[in-house]
Structure 1
Amino acid sequence: MSARHFDRHRARAVRRAADRSQSVVAAEVGVGNSAVANWEAGHTSPDPEKLPAYAAALKSGLDDLFPREGLPDLADLRCDAGIYRYETAEVIGTKSAGPVTGAERGDRRLKDRYIPLLAEKYGVSEVELRQAEDRSMAAAKARKSDAAGGPGSPEPASERRSRPPGTLAEKITEILQRSYPGPDGPPSDAEIAAEVNMRAGAQLITDGDFENLRTGATDKALPAVLDALADIVGVSRMYFEPDEAVAAQVYEGLKLLAAAKQGAVGRVRARGLGAQGLPPEAMALINELVAEMAEKQQGDAGG
């Protein structure tokens, strides 16, 4: 669960700026008079289900006042709607909240008939609800891997969430979710594959092939496929390169700059790089820096 961040100092400052008393805010949030005082003092923290009403009482946006890093899972969507888990039983027409509890824990997926009911109640699209469900399932799988422990076991889920995407699958998933934030979500695997093939001018990939890349079933893709995908989502081709390859290119650039600083300007500017070297744009930038260094060196010598 990517919980929202509650900063009691900011909440107090915003309340005072809005000229609202603690008792008035408490009444609008639906808690006792002392609750807001205890939140601001750091004695307790509000339930995540209370944060939407809390932000509204302080006349602030939920994302502005209580930001969240990362993308929401099922529990996050429920809390953002201000709904407690037990209340979902009435939403989906069951005797208990068991189906929602199981899905939030990643034990089992929601039945199809529950999806439109929950999506409407949470104020999201069915696509967004399914995507949040996928994150809940993935988090549960990660927790089980973490619990297994031992040498070679995957890193804890908390650490994975705090670092940038590393694998090709993670990078594809992240950039698609960021590039298509609307209610319809990212295009389907078939749509992405068709667009890649159109931009590449050849039949390079099927929807099944792209699904394998997106889910991590395979981590190898033709360079032309990644070129087209980078063009579709508007990122540098280097985004899809393995981290070590990007690091090698950065290191190569640093070596070039170091050589320039030591006075080996001619050798740097004339040096050619192979396929593993810097891309033309980066090389052009470095050459501009080298030229500036050369001018400065000449000016210092003339002075």
Structure 2
Amino acid sequence: MPERIFDAQKFRSARRASNRVQAQVGAAVGVNESSVAKWETGRTTPPPEKLARLAAELGQPLNALFPRIGNPDLTDLRCDAGFTQQETTAVLGTRSPNPLSRAEKGKTRLAPQYEAPLAAAYGVTVEVLLRAQERSFGNDVPEPAAAASIPAVARTDSDAAVPGTPRTIAEKIEYLLAETYAPGERPSDEEISRRGNAAAGGFVLSPSLVHDLRTGKAAEAGAGELGALAAALDAPSSFFSSDSDEVTRIVSGARMLKNGLTGMAARGDGEAMPADLMDFLSEIIDEIRGSDRPGRPDNT
């Protein structure tokens, strides 16, 4: 599997930059100070299921601090979500992790009843889970081609659908979660519903509805529900309510641009972004994001 790359010096620098001592970092992931010291000197490496939590604790994007070359298999998805094999038994409702273990080893594929619960626990769609499973069986399944990072307004083929553009509500939710949060830090369905209801000023979303929309069990929702969901995920409601590829590409492009700049800052790539440029980008993103939130007055 394409395990994440652990660089001891990079990890030590990130820990120091976060103003945390080794004992604090260890406590956050359930190990003692000496274990962290061994990681920083390169004598040992952290268990892969602890990397997402370590990155979050140090305030770093997971892919920036512990990059991985290649697409994930089942083991990678589990580790990125912070689960050991044994811990997945509560998700699968089994007495042992054997069903997952055999799938991760490329011996027996997951039974259909395990797919949706496991995908939900990992914070991915069933489609993402099944592609990862195929890789565990030695099949080189590519991810759908990512949408171009250039804003859609610069494209000349604006009427053509871009492969990999999120189309369903479930795909759009997964896109926003994947681009905004480290796997171990994603908000729960209950938290998403709470944020959405707060933005809408009333009860609009229930945790069960959020779960059904996120996993694809429910394919449609009302305008108020989609607006509250968008507000909870810090996106314009048009991202969910519109069937236009143009809208989806613009929002996706803006999100990728924002995350790209954030990643550059976190990695220390190149010179710092000029303050006026950052202010300009923030204003544009805030205007797009906030113009159609639930309860916002119409300026026309």
TM-score, normalised via structure 1 length:
0.48
Name the structure, 1 or 2, with higher relative contact order (CA <8 Å, separation 6+). 2
Between Structure 1 and Structure 2, which shows a larger proportion of helix residues? 1
